[in-house]
Structure 1
Amino acid sequence: MTSTDPARPVRHPAAAAMALRRAESLQLKAADAITTFAGSMPFVYLHALAFGLWMTLVEGSPWPTLTLVVSLEAIFLSTFVLIGQNRQAEFQQAKADHDFIESELELKTNTELTRQIHRLTTELHRRVIPEGNH
Structure 2
Amino acid sequence: MPITISPPAPTSDDSIELVFSGSGCVLSTSQAQVGANFEFTVILNGTCFATPPSFSFTWNVGRLPPGDYTTTLSLGGSIMESQALAVSQGVLPFPAPIPSVGFGGLVLLAVAMVLIANKSQEGRAKAINRVRHDIEVN
Q: With structure 2 as the length reference, what TM-score do the two structures score? A: 0.29
Larger relative CO (CA 8 A, sep 6+): 1 or 2? 1
- Give 1 or 2: higher strand fraction: 2
- Give 1 or 2: higher helix fraction: 1
